[in-house]
Structure 1
Amino acid sequence: MTLLSTEDPAEAWATFTERTSGVAFTQDFSTPGQVVPHQITGDAVVGGITLHVAELVANGTWSRLRICANHECASVFYDTTRSRTRRWHSYEICGNRANVATHRARKSGR
């Protein structure tokens, strides 16, 4: 099961919290105006993901992460549109394929 496999945000965050529970950090305040976390326990990859997710949540950009609407793709992308409505990681690849498939289905009368 992946974090992104659920539609329930509370369940997803609970899963993420559970999966990252073995990761611990210390903070280094020796540089004025900066806090530098150092991972002391847990898997390094999970620790890196945890730090990046924490940064995205802290600076308010987490809500701009999207999963491509192409069910065969599953790419995650950062939505830079003002309206936050981008659907595909790449319009040229997934968006075009979806539009062509819709057009062909309409033409064939399905």
Structure 2
Amino acid sequence: MLSVRVNDLRIGWQSRSIHDLIMIKGVRGYSWLYWNDGSKQMMAYTIKHYENQLPIDDFIRVHQNCVINRNFVQKTQLTHRGPMLRLATGTEIIISRRRWSMVKKELQHLYWG
């Protein structure tokens, strides 16, 4: 089982399964890790640090600041606001226009037009 080491302020360093990781959002050199139990953690590593540790079969970079676990994607679509995807949590994520063709191809079974 693949895991990521994270620091929880209450219990210290721990390993968490990447299969429970919904997405990673990068913010000014830090990363927010969002988990399927509803929790999120801020880590002092860049999104690229984590992207290099994640299996490409399960994760896809959809924006300069966002990596998504494919297993949590419900659908992708082109809207009036641009390309987007919806996660199982209900969260909508904007896909960068430069990455749209690659994301659409990778997740074509979820594309709703």
In the superposition, the TM-score normalised over structure 1's length comes to 0.22
Higher relative contact order (CA 8 A, sep 6+): 2
Larger radius of gyration: 1
